[in-house]
Amino acid sequence: MIRRHELTDDAWARIEPLLPANPGRGGRWRDHRQVLNGIVWKIRTGADWRDIPERYGPWQTIYQRFRRWSADGTFARLLEHIQVHDNAAGQVDWAAVCVDSTIVRAHQHAAGARKGGSERGRPGSNQPRSIRADRPLGRSRGGLTTKIHLAVDGRGLPLAFTLTAGNVNDCTQFTTVLEAIRVPRPGPGRPRTRPDHVIADKGYSSRAIRTYLRRRGIGATIPERADQLAGRARRRHRRYAFDPARYKRRNVVERCFNRLKHFKGIATRYDKLAAHYRSAVTIACLLLWLR
């Protein structure tokens, strides 16, 4: 019997062939499906690793498997494989890729890692070193926060995302998110990296972003801010083309954020390391594609 928060038979059949084989160094790995269900349960509930039910096996085994597959990119490869399959079937909607961001509150446990670390903040940053170490955390009115910058296709399924501190401006990550889109083709040929059209809110209205999209041959539906419209009126310049009907499709990215935040381990960040939180978001994105 499949319990709540566990992989369905169809979902498991799609990802099972891609999981690492038994290492063969004496003994056998605990069943992959059992361990993955434990990881999914943890991200769904936001509980501590030690609170994972015994039916999924020892929590130490589940945590070590999560760490191993985070480090070797297993979760990212699973998500890429599902995207490749759907793209080959013509199901990915490249005609209305939407970009936006959301802020995630960081639990006090996320700020408790040791000082130092492999990923440090920019030289001269005024953030405490303990916050900068390998964890994109920033202080805002809500306290310590992380921001997820996301690009979704026209169906509202995630194509790519990046993580930054919560006080980072959205427009600074626009090109980073778009350039993170990379869906390989099943046969020969370059990966698909360029959507046909991008929809974003007025927070992304800047000359640099519009120039970037125009040079790549990507259409844009981005409303201008009031100060930009006033400046154009003073200079008697034409407004940028804007299609209100197409802009209504932007709500798919909001719906995607809503679905991601059904995972309590995503809605609140408990992970100290960015790599672990990034893997948790990747797993949540994977589950949205497997539905």
> Where do the domains of the chain lie?
93-114+128-271
* Average pLDDT of the residues in 125-149: 67
Residue tagged 């709540």 (tokens): 4
pLDDT band at 120 (very low <50, low <70, confident <90, very high): very low
Residue 105 has pLDDT above 80, yes or no: yes
pLDDT band at 231 (very low <50, low <70, confident <90, very high): confident
Cβ burial, residue 41 (10 Å; 0-12/13-18/19+) = buried
Residue 82 has pLDDT above 90, yes or no: yes
C-alpha 161/C-alpha 282 separation (Å) is 9
C-alpha 180/C-alpha 150 separation (Å) is 10
The residue that leads in pLDDT, 24 or 202, is 202
Q: Express each pLDDT in 28-80 by its tens digit.
A: 678 899 999 999 999 999 999 999 999 999 999 999 999 999 999 999 999 99
Q: What is the pLDDT of residue 226?
A: 82
**Coil, strand, or helix at residue 67?**
helix
Q: What is the pLDDT of residue 236?
A: 73
**Coil, strand, or helix at residue 94?**
helix
pLDDT band at 109 (very low <50, low <70, confident <90, very high): confident
| Closest by Cα among 102, 94, 96, 101 to 220 | 96
CATH class held by domain 93-114+128-271: alpha beta
C-alpha 145/C-alpha 138 separation (Å) is 5
**Coil, strand, or helix at residue 142?**
coil
C-alpha 228/C-alpha 242 separation (Å) is 14
Residue 122 CB partners (closer than 8 Å, separation 6+):
none
Structure tokens at 180: 């993170």
Q: What is the pLDDT of residue 230?
A: 79
